[in-house]
Amino acid sequence: MPSTPADHTIFIPQALARVRADSPLVQCLTNSVVTGFTANVLLALGASPAMVDIPEEAGPFARIASGVLVNLGTPHAEQRSAVVEAARAAASAGTPWVLDPVAVGALPVRTALARELLELRPAVIRGNASEIIALAGAGAGGRGVDSSHGVEAAEESARALARTTDCVVAVSGPVDFVTDKVRCARIAHGDVLLTRVTGGGCALGAVMAAFAAVHEDRFAATVAAVAVYTVAAELAAKEASGPGSFAVSFLDALAALEESDLAEPTVLS
């Protein structure tokens, strides 16, 4: 059970190697803005994306998928049925699934849906500070996908949410915070350009599903997903002239990431 920064430094490159070797099948029920980028991020990582998000297919597929992402960015009526079907099937089959409650708290339809989904035992919840605070019941959400709260302000909410739901909670921001109810970790990598590419946060949820698919320890898997993702972003930023070239370099960097890129400690205690 990796807990300390030193543990994570050993675990993270192994975790990435395992994702690449197993190429987990990650079912994504995600918003209409980021489907393409999310699939490309999973392909660059070495996982196998499948965007199966209609009723009557989403449930059966969640039973054979290795991991599932449910992102509430554009929750159209048909997709609302499909995500409940998929989450229920995943919970019943033991398939780890990640909940990304985009703009929860600020908008009514998805807020009700997120509450319903919380009962279906996600393995991981990923959001920005405002979303995690709203989901934990401690605030009223942000504006769209922006976060009006800092990550530190959300740490208490994240811990509370992890306790009540018994899952891993990850708060994205300049310093990412990951916690289960016992352990916690902070990852201070990434680049501000990641916030200038649509799907920069959403695709991380899919990467968490890929890591959770192949590792029993969901906390360590989530920390590894964040570390891999944000270290690749740092490498990409060095090559980029702006947000357009950054998105391209980021996919290249994810695909090319080597063990040596992850040799330094990336996790703070």
Output the smallest distance, CB 239 to a second copy, in A: 9
Asked if 175 is part of the footprint of a second copy (rule: CB under 8 A), the reply reads no
Contact between 53 and a second copy per CB under 8 A: yes
Torsions phi, psi for 23 (to 5 deg): 45, 60
Strands 176-179 and 124-128: unpaired
Nearer residue to a second copy within complex by CB, 36 or 137: 36
The C-alpha angle with vertex 212 and arms to 208 and 218, in degrees rounded to 5, equals 105
Provide the 3-class DSSP secondary structure of residue 120.
coil
Question: Please, which residues have CB within 8 angstroms of residue 2's CB and are 6 or more apart in sequence?
Answer: 8, 10, 11, 217, 219, 220, 223
Strand, coil or helix: 194: helix
Min. distance of Cβ 190 from a second copy in angstroms?
A: 16
Among 197, 203, 207, 223, binds a second copy (CB under 8 A): 197
* Residue 181 binding a second copy, by CB under 8 A: no
Kindly state whether residue 211 participates in binding a second copy, applying the rule CB under 8 A: no
List 103, 133, 136, 161, residue binding a second copy (CB under 8 A) = 103
Q: Is 250 in the site for a second copy (CB under 8 A)?
A: yes
Helices (H), 73-150: 77-93, 108-118, 129-135
| CB atoms inside a 10 Å sphere around CB 31 | 22
Q: How far apart are CA 85 and CA 90, in angstroms?
A: 9
Contact stretch for a second copy (CB under 8 A) within 55-63, 173-181, 217-225, 259-267:
55-63
Residue 155 sits in the site that holds a second copy (CB under 8 A): no
Query: Binder to a second copy among 163, 243, 261, 268 (CB under 8 A)?
Result: 243
The amino acid occupying position 14 is Q
Q: Contact between 31 and a second copy (CB under 8 A)?
A: yes
Q: Which residues bind a second copy (CB under 8 A)?
A: 25, 31-37, 39-40, 43-44, 48-54, 56-57, 60-61, 64, 73-78, 103, 107-110, 143-146, 195-199, 240-245, 247-256
